[in-house]
C-alpha cells in the first residue's frame, strides 16, 4: 500500500492520472476539488462557504480545507493507502498534513509531480470548459489559478524534494502513455506490504 500526493498545475491531468494510478495500486483517490464540488452541488454549509472561492479561482481558506482533509484521512478506507490530489496547495497545508499524519502515526511514501508547459495547460483548460462547463474554467479565472499555482503550490515541491520523496514525471502526451510513465517511475518507491 502507498500513501502519496500528486502535485501539478491546473490542467496537467492530475485528476485523470489520479484515478488511473489508484486503480492500478488499489488505493483510494482523495481529490479536494471533487469533495468541494460535491458539497457545492449538494448545497451543504461547506459547499456554500467554498463556492465563492472556487468560482473566483481562489483557494478555499486553509482552516476549512485542513479540517475537511483531516476528517477524510481519518476514515477507515484510507488507513493504509491513499492518493491526495489537489492537497496540499499552500505551506500552511503542508504543515497541517504533517500534523495529521503524525497524530495518526503515519508517513508519506512518495510525492509525484506532474509537469506541463503553460501554453498547453491553457489550451486544455479552455477545451475542458467547453465540454464540462466548469464555472471556474473561464480564461480570466484560468489565468488566476495558474498564477496561484506558480506562486503558492509550485514551491512546495522543493519541500518534498528535500525530504527525498519527490518523483517528477512529464505530463505531456497520450493519457495512457503518461500513466505508464508514472507507474514505471513509482516502481520501487515506497509501496508497503
Ligand atoms: P484545478 O487543479 O484544475 O484548479 P481542482 O479540482 O483541484 O482544480 O480544484 C478546484 C478548486 O477547488 C480550486 O481552484 C480551489 O478553489 C478549490 N480547492 C481545491 N483544493 C484546494 C486546496 N487544497 N486548498 C484550497 N482550495 C482548494
Beta bridge partners of 169: 114
User: Got the DSSP string for 90-132?
Assistant: SHHHHHHHHHHHHHTT----EEEEEE--HHHHHHHHHHHHHHH
User: For residue 171, which phi and psi values (nearest 5 degrees)?
Assistant: -90, 5
Query: What cell numbers appear for 19 in the block?
Result: 484515478
| Tens-level pLDDT at each residue, the chain (193 residues) | 899 999 999 989 999 999 999 999 999 999 999 999 999 999 999 999 999 999 999 999 999 999 999 999 999 999 989 999 999 999 999 999 999 999 999 999 999 999 998 888 888 888 887 788 777 888 899 999 999 999 999 999 999 999 999 999 999 999 999 999 999 999 977 656 5
Q: How far apart are CA 125 and CA 46, in angstroms?
A: 26
Rounded to the nearest whole angstrom, what is the distance from the C-alpha of residue 193 to the centroid of ligand 1? 32
* Pairing, β 82-85 against β 28-31: parallel
Check pocket membership of 145 for ligand 1, CB cut-off 6 A: yes
Please identify which residue in the block is written with the cell numbers 508519506: 108
Give all domains of the chain, ordered by start, each with its CATH number.
Answer: 2-186 (3.40.50.300)
Predicted pLDDT at 193 = 56
Q: Per residue in 121-154, is it b (16+ CB within 10 Å) or e — as a string?
A: bbebbeeebeeeeeebbeeebbebbbebbeebbe
- Reported pTM: 0.92
CA-proximal residue: ligand 1, atom 4 (nearest) = 10
Query: What cell numbers appear for 164 in the block?
Result: 527525498
Say whether 59 sits in a helix, a strand or coil. coil
* Residues 192, 109 contacting (CB under 8 angstroms): yes
4: alpha, beta or left, given left = phi > 0 and alpha = psi -120 to 50? beta
Check pocket membership of 32 for ligand 1, CB cut-off 6 A: yes
Predicted pLDDT at 126 = 87
Question: Quick one: DSSP state of residue 3?
Answer: E
Check pocket membership of 144 for ligand 1, CB cut-off 6 A: no
Q: How far apart are CA 77 and CA 27, in angstroms?
A: 9
Predicted pLDDT at 190 = 61
**Widest distance between CA atoms in the chain:** 46
Amino acid at each position: 500500500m502507498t500513501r502519496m500526493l500528486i502535485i501539478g498545475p491546473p490542467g496537467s491531468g492530475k485528476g485523470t492520472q489520479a484515478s488511473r494510478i489508484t486503480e492500478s495500486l488499489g488505493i483510494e483517490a482523495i481529490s479536494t476539488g471533487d469533495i468541494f464540488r460535491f458539497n457545492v452541488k449538494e448545497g451543504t454549509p461547506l459547499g456554500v462557504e467554498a463556492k465563492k472561492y472556487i468560482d473566483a479561482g481562489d483557494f478555499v481558506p486553509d482552516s476549512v480545507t485542513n479540517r475537511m482533509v483531516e476528517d477524510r484521512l481519518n476514515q477507515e478506507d484510507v488507513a493504509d493507502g491513499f492518493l491526495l490530489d489537489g492537497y496540499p496547495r499552500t505551506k500552511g497545508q503542508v504543515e497541517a498534513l504533517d500534523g495529521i499524519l503524525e497524530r495518526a502515526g503515519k508517513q508519506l511514501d512518495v510525492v509525484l509531480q506532474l509537469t506541463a508547459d503553460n501554453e498547453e495547460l491553457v489550451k486544455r483548460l479552455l477545451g475542458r470548459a467547453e465540454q464540462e462547463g466548469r464555472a471556474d474554467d473561464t480564461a480570466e479565472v484560468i489565468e488566476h489559478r495558474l498564477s496561484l499555482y506558480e506562486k503558492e503550490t509550485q514551491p512546495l515541491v522543493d519541500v518534498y524534494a528535500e525530504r527525498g520523496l519527490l518523483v517528477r514525471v512529464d505530463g505531456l502526451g497520450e493519457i495512457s502513455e503518461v500513466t505508464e510513465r508514472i507507474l514505471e517511475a513509482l516502481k520501487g518507491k515506497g509501496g508497503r506490504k
